[in-house]
Amino acid sequence: MQHDLRLVGVGRRYGIRGPWVLRGIDLVVAPGTLIRVEGANGTGKSTLLRLVARLDTPTEGRITGRPHTAYVPERFPASLPFTALGYLTHLGAVHGLSRTAAHQAAGDVLERFGAAAYADTPMSRLSKGTSQKVAVAQALLAEPELLVLDEAWTGLDAPARAELERAVAERTAAGGAVVFVDHDPRRLAGAPDATYTVVETGLERRTDSGSSPEPGTGPVAFVVVQGPPGRQLPPEAVRIAAAAESAPGTHHLTVPGSHSDVLLRALLTASPPWHVVSVGPDGTRPHDPGSRS
């Protein structure tokens, strides 16, 4: 994602005399950020997400920036006249992939979400959970710059939920942005760069989420890595983890638990790979091999 997406003084109401659902909304979605949107039922979260995804236009105000966007709606139209694989292949081709590449990518993403066995099943016969996997798969297929997820985890099984969390971390690590709504407050806990609550018709920024994950705000992992003194950490690692150097070449990284796989992948696939000394899960600070007593 090259530029911010910005909502400036945005208002939305349905119908000329309908009540304002949102009004005076200013929001910046910057590259590489994860934004959570909360709010009570019916306050306008989905309305906001549709505006962010640019599937809807504001009644007043303006939106600038047009990143390549994918959206997972709260309700996915499951009765489309395709098989799961046929639908995804078709969408891949719409996103500009060749037919062969689209077919391959569609198969890969179904496999990733544990739905490969349903590749040839007509969409209308898929269970709710598998249909939701297809909804998520269609959004990830084209590696969007902006991913907008409206309750996308609802109906997924545990492995698929974890996979979607990983996919979110991958998108932000790659410099994309993700905006999501989820009813589970533990979803991606500690990971969002910002959390906004829709209150009345406005948006309030919650102050307790920041880019540096702190123990206690959600599950975190502590990773200690070593490399030659002076070597810079991979940019993806710096983007998703808080880092401190305790001795020349020894770095302590604190990362939201949901991002730990992506962090390790960035470290281990660097050239040359970093030496991962220890990984401490959920609040256990590992022994510091770099400290001197």
Summarize as ranges the residues that interact with ligand ATP (CB under 6 A). Answer: 14, 21, 39, 41-47, 74
Query: Hey, CA dihedral for 243, 274, 256, 289, is it positive or negative?
Result: negative
Six-digit token string for 13: 């109401």
DSSP 3-state of 93:
helix
Residue type, 148: V
- The least distance separating ligand ATP from the CB of residue 33, rounded to whole angstroms, comes to 21
Instruction: Closer to ligand ATP by CB, 39 or 256: give it.
Output: 39
- The least distance separating ligand ATP from the CB of residue 274, rounded to whole angstroms, comes to 42
CA distance 37 to 249: 38
158-173 and 260-268 are packed helices; what angle lies between their axes, rounded to 10 degrees? 50
Instruction: Closer to ligand ATP by CB, 14 or 248: give it.
Output: 14
- The least distance separating ligand ATP from the CB of residue 183, rounded to whole angstroms, comes to 8
Instruction: Closer to ligand ATP by CB, 94 or 199: give it.
Output: 199
- The least distance separating ligand ATP from the CB of residue 76, rounded to whole angstroms, comes to 14
DSSP 3-state of 241:
coil
- The least distance separating ligand ATP from the CB of residue 48, rounded to whole angstroms, comes to 7
Which of 126, 225, 247 lies closest to 138, judged by CA? 126
- The least distance separating ligand ATP from the CB of residue 220, rounded to whole angstroms, comes to 28
Instruction: Closer to ligand ATP by CB, 73 or 218: give it.
Output: 73
Environment class of 183 (CB within 10 Å of its CB; exposed 0-12, middle 13-18, buried 19+): exposed
- The least distance separating ligand ATP from the CB of residue 135, rounded to whole angstroms, comes to 16
DSSP 3-state of 162:
helix
Instruction: Closer to ligand ATP by CB, 35 or 221: give it.
Output: 35
Instruction: Closer to ligand ATP by CB, 39 or 192: give it.
Output: 39
**CA angle (30, 7, 258) in 5-degree steps:** 40
CA distance 168 to 176: 9
- The least distance separating ligand ATP from the CB of residue 47, rounded to whole angstroms, comes to 3
Instruction: Closer to ligand ATP by CB, 123 or 147: give it.
Output: 147
Instruction: Closer to ligand ATP by CB, 68 or 128: give it.
Output: 128
Q: Which residues are 10's β-sheet partners? A: 25
End-to-end CA distance of the chain: 45
**CA angle (42, 47, 53) in 5-degree steps:** 150
Helices then strands, counting H and E runs in the chain, come out as: 7, 13
